[in-house]
Amino acid sequence: MQLRRKDLLGIAELTAEEIQLILDTADSLKEISTRPIKKVPTLRGKTVVTLFYEPSTRTRMSFEIAAKRLSADTVNLTVAASSAVKGETLADTAYNLEAMQPDLLIIRHQASGAPYYLAQRLKCGVVNAGDGLHEHPTQALLDLMTVREAKGRLSGLKVAIIGDIAHSRVARSNIWAFTKMGSEVTVAGPATMLPPYLAAMGVRLVYSLEEAVRGADVIMMLRLQLERMGQWYLSTLREYSATFGLAPKHLALAKEDVIIMHPGPINRGVEISPEVADGPYSVILEQVTNGVAVRMAVLLLLIGGGT
């Protein structure tokens, strides 16, 4: 099976069937990472370039490990070492990379839509590894995979996403992902971070953490960007933490088998207390493990054809 598309740019344009295919493929590939020799030859001879204009540790490493476990060659280009600092445009950088004939370009960029811009111009495939405030599709896919493993299903679940929804590409991708798979999504945060237009994406908006987590099967906490304080999105960290930080007392409101997720990196003691992050309901590290499997699946489904 293949995805009938050149690029993976966002969850918004994927069908439930395509998501299913990626998750099923990821499930079957997950076992490779537990072998003593963690490598299969599937993508031998393929070249995967990661082009990161924003700092990232786990996402880039996760893509790189995924590519290597499938035997693809990987090249990493970071913004600090690239020509961007010399004033080269994104398009010129991409054309130059493409001239070296990679099979896939994995891009993270601070501008929403940058991967779309490249996908329209390049013949090679483009994978969005996070664009501005827009989408982070592989994060949502690994979140779906983690929830499906824990719950055995994705439909009919109550999912609460809490934090700075306005500025979160993880939230956007997950809203699309969970609603497409038949779950009910509630988003919560202060109104400064919760634009009312979100309702058009098919989610419920509440301004109370307690209300959001009541009866939830899944609680997803978002990282608070600390620079938001300077733009009056919140008053103090102390108040944010007291109002929208997830603490052990909240878990009693949720379903008994609730799972706690976080895309990382965690601000311990801000949006999530250490007891919850490290507690028995947390699947935060499982998310990271599944990230490799999901990214292997994406690479395989996009450039694994014809082998």
Partner 1 sequence: MSLLITGGLVVDPSQDLEEVRDLLIEQGRIAALEPPGRLPSEGRQVIDAQGLVVTPGLIDMHVHLREPGEEYKETIATGTLAAVRGGFTAVAAMPNTKPVNDNAATTRFILDQARRAGLARVYPVAAISVGLKGEALAEYADLKAAGAVALSDDGRPVMNALLMRRALEYAHTFELPIISHAEDLDLRADGVMHEGVVSVRLGLKGIPAAAEEVMVFRDVTLAQLTGARLHIAHVSTAGSVDIIRRAKAAGVPVTAETAPHYFHLTEEAVEGYDTNAKVNPPLRTTADIAAIKTGLADGTLDAIASDHAPHSSLEKDLEFVAAAFGLIGLETSLGLTLQLVHEGVISLSRAVALLSTNPAKILRLPGGTLAPGAVADVTIIDLHQQWQVDVHSFASKSRNCPFQGWRLKGKPRYTIIGGQLVWQADQG
- Sites of contact with partner 1 (CB under 8 A): 12, 89-91, 109, 111-114, 116-117, 131-135, 166, 169, 172, 195, 197-198, 200-201, 231
Residue 11 or 296: the one with the smaller Cβ distance to partner 1 is 11
Report whether 105 contacts 303 (CB < 8 A).
Answer: no
Residue 172 or 295: the one with the smaller Cβ distance to partner 1 is 172
Which residues are CB-neighbours of 239 under 8 A, at least 6 positions away? none
Least spacing, CB of residue 149 vs partner 1, in Å: 28
Residue 65 or 133: the one with the smaller Cβ distance to partner 1 is 133
Classified as helix, coil or strand, 28 is: helix
Classified as helix, coil or strand, 1 is: coil
Instruction: Tell me which residue has tokens 């880039």.
Output: 60
Least spacing, CB of residue 166 vs partner 1, in Å: 8
CA distance 245 to 259: 16
Residue 265: asked if its preceding bond is cis (omega within 30°), the reply is: yes
Least spacing, CB of residue 306 vs partner 1, in Å: 29
Output the CA–CA distances (angstroms, integers) from residue 52 to 13, 29, 56, 84, 141, in the order listed.
Answer: 23, 25, 8, 11, 20
Least spacing, CB of residue 2 vs partner 1, in Å: 24
Residue 113 or 264: the one with the smaller Cβ distance to partner 1 is 113
Least spacing, CB of residue 89 vs partner 1, in Å: 7
Residue 198 or 272: the one with the smaller Cβ distance to partner 1 is 198
Least spacing, CB of residue 211 vs partner 1, in Å: 21
Residue 171 or 292: the one with the smaller Cβ distance to partner 1 is 171
Least spacing, CB of residue 93 vs partner 1, in Å: 12
Strand segments (E) across 1-103: 47-52, 73-78
Report whether 211 contacts 188 (CB < 8 A).
Answer: yes
Residue 131 or 217: the one with the smaller Cβ distance to partner 1 is 131
AA letter at 37: I
CA 54 to chain centre: 15
Report whether 244 contacts 189 (CB < 8 A).
Answer: yes
